[in-house]
Every structure is written in C-alpha cells, then in structure tokens.
Amino acid sequence: MTQTKLAQKLGCTQVKISEIINGKRSITPQFALQLEAVFEIDAEIWVSLQGQFDVWQARIKASL
C-alpha cells in the first residue's frame, strides 16, 4: 500500500504518514485506533511498537 493510499484510508495527510514511517512523528493512541481499523491489528500493538522505538532511540542517545 502506498503512503498516499494509506493517508486516504486514514483520513490524514501523506506528510503525517511519511513522518511516522521516518521516525519523525510518534504514533499516538488515537492514531493507533485508526491503524487498528485499517489493518485489523490491535491498537495496543501499535502503541507498544512506538514505545519500543522510543526506548531504542533513548538508548542510542544515552550511549553517545
């Protein structure tokens, strides 16, 4: 699925999708619910993945 198609399905901009994919914007619980509706993957999983990514970034920053 293209970013444009996903943005249309979610009712958001392609910029928002691009920023999330590129780690410049976080997945909020509200957005996780939207993703759940499109992909049929529980919102908790999306939020958990975001949390894991956040911790990974923090570890990288802490090791610098």
- What CATH number corresponds to the domain at position 53? 1.10.260.40
Question: In which domain, by residue range, is 21 found?
Answer: 3-62
pLDDT digits (tens, 9 = 90+) for 31-53: 999 999 999 999 999 999 999 99
3-class DSSP assignment, residue 2: coil
Residue entry with tokens 């920023």:
19
- Give the integer Cα–Cα distance in Å for 2 and 10: 12
The upper half-sphere exposure of residue 10, i.e. CA atoms within 13 Å in the direction of its Cβ, equals 23
Round the average pLDDT of the chain to a whole number and report it.
97
Question: Looking only at Cα atoms, what is the longest distance across the chain?
Answer: 39
Query: Considering its fold, how many domains does the chain have in total?
Result: 1
Q: What is the pTM of this model?
A: 0.89
